[in-house]
Structure 1
C-alpha cells in the first residue's frame, strides 16, 4: 500500500531505511542518482536487515536509471562521454552492486529522454534486463505527457507497470494519466503527496474526518490515495509517523467521504 522513499536522506539513509523496514515497510524506492539519493547506503541498510532476519524475498526494491540531465556531472555512475546505452548499463550494474542484489523488483526510467529515438533505445535495453530475469517490472517516472506514455506503452514489448509522478495541482493531479494507468493495469505511484498538498491537509473536510476516525490528517489522506488506486511514496524521517502511516489499512473511508476529498483534485 505504501513505499518508503529514500530521496534526500543523505547520511541518514541507512538508519532510516532500517527503521522503516523494522516498523513494517516492505517496499523501498531509491535511484542511482548520487545528487539526491544514497543508493549505496540503502544497500548497507539492506545488508544489516538481512543479518537481523529480514529475507530478501520479503522486500520490494525499486530503483531508477537517471539520465545525465538529472545527474551531478561531477558525481554520477557513468561518464558524460558515454552513449546513453552505456550510461544505462553502467547505472544498472552500479545499482545491483549498491543494493547487494542480482534482482531488482522494479526498474524505472527516472525521466523521459529526448530525442524519442533515445527513449526507445533505452527502454528496449531495459526490456533485456527483464527478459534476463534481472528485473521484475519496468516503469517510468516524471512523465506528465499522456501521449508520450501512450506511445511508450504501444511500442513496448514489456509493458510499463509503473508511473511514478509528483502528485500536485499544477498537473491537474494527472487525471488523464491516472485513468490511462487504470485502464492498462499500470500502478500510479505518487510522491510529494503531502508536501505539495498542504491546502488539502488543512481543509475542514480532512480535519473532520481526522476527528471522526481518530487518525491524523496525513493518515486520512494516505488512506484516500490508496482507495483511489494510488500507491504513495512516504519519505518521513519520524518513527512515530512511520508506524502511524502503516496503520491506514485499519480503516476504510466511505464513498461520500472519498468524494469530499476528490473535489479538491
Structure 2
C-alpha cells in the first residue's frame, strides 16, 4: 500500500520486512554499452530503484554498477540507502554457455554463491536490496535448493528474496514449503493477457503482502493501450496513454492492507519519457474508484 515519509515524499510500497520499495524500478535489460549513461540518467531524473541480473546474455551488470557509482560520486547528498538495487540469479538454461558468470558445472549451491558474489562485485555495493530467482528451475526440488542457497546471504549481503517468471502453483508451493526459512517478498512477472493478467498471483501477493513487479507492461498490452477506457482516462488527465496505463496498473495495489502492492519495471531509453513517467506518481492518489472498477472489468474481458 502506498506510503509517504518526510525523507522520501514520493509514494512507495512496503515490503513484508517493513522496508520501502519504489513504484518504478529502472529496467536495464538489453541496454548493452549504453547501460551506464542510461542508469545515471534514470537516477538523475528521479528513479530510486534499479533492476538488473547476473546474466551477460541480456544485462551488463557491471555497467549498471558503474552507473550507480558515478551517480553517488556526483551527488554527495544521495545516500546508498535511498536507492533500491535488485539483481537476479539466472539458472544455467537462461545463460549463454560461452559467457556464464559462474561455473555451470559446479553444484547448484556453488552456482548461486558465485552468482551473488559476482553481483556484489559488479554492482560495487556492500549489500543488495533484493535478489530474485530469475525463473523456477526444472523441478520444485531444485527451485527450493537454489532458494535455500540464496537464503545464506540474507539479511546481511542480501535484504530480500523474490522470484520471477513464476506461475501460481510454483509460487504457492515455494512460499508454503517448510524447507525454506526466508519467504518470498517479491514476484516479478510479465503482466499480459496470455496469463489472465496474473489474477491468481496478484491475489496471492495481496494476501501475503508481497510486492508484484510488472514487466512488459506496455509492450505486451497493445489492446489495453488502444482501449477507450485507457485513452479516455489519459485525455481526462492530460497524460499520454502510456502514462495512463502505468497509473492504472500501479493502482491495482493501492488498497492492499497487508503491505506490498504493484510496481512497474520501466526501461525507457528516452530521458523525456523518464521524466514524464515519473510524473504519474504525483497523481497516484487521485485515480477514481469508478475508473479502477472499470479497469478491472476490462482486464477480465481482454
- Verify same fold: TM over 0.5: yes
Relative contact order, higher structure (CA 8 A, sep 6+): 2
Whether contact under 8 Å (2:140, 2:170) holds in the other structure is: no
| Equivalent position to 1:72, from 96, 104, 112 | 96
How many residues are aligned here?
263
Aligned to 1:181: 205
What is the CA distance between 1:41 and its match in structure 2? 0.3
What is the CA distance between 1:209 and its match in structure 2? 1.2
Aligned to 1:206: 230
235-244 or 47-56: bigger deviation = 47-56
Whether contact under 8 Å (2:231, 2:244) holds in the other structure is: no
Q: Secondary structure at the match of 2:158?
A: coil
Aligned to 1:90: 114
C-alpha distance in structure 2 between counterparts of 1:91 and 1:42, whole Å: 16
C-alpha distance in structure 1 between counterparts of 2:144 and 2:295, whole Å: 38
TM-score by length of 1: 0.97
| Equivalent position to 2:82, from 48, 58, 68 | 58
Q: Does 1:235 align with 2:267?
A: yes
TM-score by length of 2: 0.85
Aligned to 1:137: 160
Q: Secondary structure at the match of 1:129?
A: coil
C-alpha distance in structure 1 between counterparts of 2:209 and 2:231, whole Å: 33
Deviation beyond 4 Å, 4+ runs, structure 1: none
183-192 or 121-130: bigger deviation = 121-130
Q: Secondary structure at the match of 1:107?
A: strand
| Equivalent position to 1:222, from 241, 246, 254 | 246
Whether contact under 8 Å (2:87, 2:132) holds in the other structure is: yes
Aligned to 2:6: none
| Equivalent position to 1:36, from 55, 58, 78 | 58
| Equivalent position to 1:128, from 141, 145, 152 | 152
| Equivalent position to 2:67, from 31, 45, 68 | 45
Q: What runs of 5+ residues in structure 1 fail to find an aligned partner?
A: none
Q: What runs of 5+ residues in structure 2 fail to find an aligned partner?
A: 1-22, 254-261
